[in-house]
Amino acid sequence: MPGTAELTAYLEVQRGPVEEALARAVEAFAGDLASDVAEALEYGVTTGGKRLRPVLCVTAFEACGGSVGEAAYDLAASLELIHAYSLMHDDLPCMDDAALRRGRPTSHRAHGEDATMRAGAALIPAAALQALAACERLGSSAEQGRTVAKALLEAAGAGGMVGGQWLDLLGEGQALGAEELDGLHRRKTGALLQASLVMGGLAAGADQDTVDALREYGAAIGLAFQIADDILDATESAETLGKNPSDIELGKSTYVSLYGLEEARARAKAEVGRAVAALSRVGLEAPMLAALARYVVEREK
């Protein structure tokens, strides 16, 4: 498996084409919007972030035999458009009422609630169009394009991220049990991470067993990601993480409050093992995906 230095270099190399694809997407979609909304959209999409979802998508695409070029990054960018909207709306006063995101003022603090609401809403259909157009450029069949776009929209919808966010808001101030917490986070955080892998595999024309393995890998790293998030939330400052308020301040149940730090760490590690095992089972040679699974729990923010 690639070591930390190799993975860091890989993430650095990926950043350029991911940012370029996002800039292309902003240019394509912001033109139809009022200027204040376009500015909020650009701020939400192009300002920082680890870009984990696009990197997972492109890495899975390549591991499944896809030939990586601009169109693959355009596909990967569709996931980041959904992610960006979710963060913009999540930070609004009617949800988490957050002041800081990625070390900067949240979108509504910088561009106002009205423009943030509208820019976030515009990003949802934009992401679907982005995925469909990218599939066309990749030479996918219409059926393949539909399947890829469906994976994105299902992950973003009520059975995925939106439903998870709803459970998250309802759960504030309550002590959720393990099953409830897993269910919430499989949808809120896990579904889009999982879709990143599945979409990469589908667009590359992977067979059903391989797509299923990517789905299993995605579910495992989704859970590992959230456990790691809760550990960081409990152990690092808002300054280091570049966001506030913390989940603890918001009265949310976390894996640390449920299990304690040590067991939470062990559980995150076990999920990484599960993710890597799923790929091995179908013989998918993807050392970078294995390294990315480890990164998900070892990251510092």
**Under a CB-based contact definition with an 8 Å cutoff, are residues 210 and 68 in contact?**
no
Binding part of the chain for ligand GRG, among 64-72, 84-92, 110-118, 251-259 by CB under 6 A, reads: 84-92
Instruction: Give the residues across from 100 on adjacent strands.
Output: 105, 244
Binder among 23, 28, 162, 234 for ligand GRG (CB under 6 A)? 162
Q: Is 49 in the site for ligand GRG (CB under 6 A)?
A: yes
Binder among 134, 161, 202, 214 for ligand GRG (CB under 6 A)? 161
Binding part of the chain for ligand GRG, among 30-38, 142-150, 161-169, 201-209 by CB under 6 A, reads: 161-169
Measured from the CB of residue 92, what is the shortest distance to ligand GRG in angstroms? 8
Q: Is 21 in the site for ligand GRG (CB under 6 A)?
A: no
Using CA atoms, how far residue 235 sits from 24, 69, 132, 168, in Å, is: 37, 39, 41, 21
Q: Is 194 in the site for ligand GRG (CB under 6 A)?
A: no
Cα separation, 161 vs 191, in Å, equals 6
Q: Is 216 in the site for ligand GRG (CB under 6 A)?
A: no
Q: Residue 13 class from Cβ within 10 Å (0-12 exposed, 13-18 middle, 19+ buried)? A: exposed
Q: Is 89 in the site for ligand GRG (CB under 6 A)?
A: yes
Q: Is 86 in the site for ligand GRG (CB under 6 A)?
A: yes
The CA-based dihedral angle spanning residues 80, 64, 298, 96, taken in that order and rounded to the nearest 10 degrees: 20
Taking residues 98 to 137 in sequence order and writing x for each that binds ligand GRG by CB under 6 A, - otherwise, the string is ----x-----------------------------------
Q: Is 188 in the site for ligand GRG (CB under 6 A)?
A: yes
| Structural tokens at position 221 | 């790293």
Q: How far apart are the first and last CA of the chain?
A: 22
Binder among 19, 74, 90, 271 for ligand GRG (CB under 6 A)? 90
Sign of torsion, CA 98 18 130 38? positive
Residue 92 sits at φ, ψ, to 5 deg, of: -60, 155
Q: Is 231 in the site for ligand GRG (CB under 6 A)?
A: no
What's the farthest any 2 CA atoms get from each other in the chain?
Answer: 50
Measured from the CB of residue 208, what is the shortest distance to ligand GRG in angstroms? 28
Q: How many residues bind ligand GRG (CB under 6 A)?
A: 17
Using DSSP's 3-state secondary structure scheme, residue 281 falls into helix
Q: Is 247 in the site for ligand GRG (CB under 6 A)?
A: no
Crossing angle (nearest 10°) for helices 208-235 and 287-298: 20
Q: Give contact residues for ligand GRG (rule: CB under 6 A).
A: 49-50, 52, 83, 86-87, 89-90, 95, 102, 161-162, 165-166, 188-189, 229
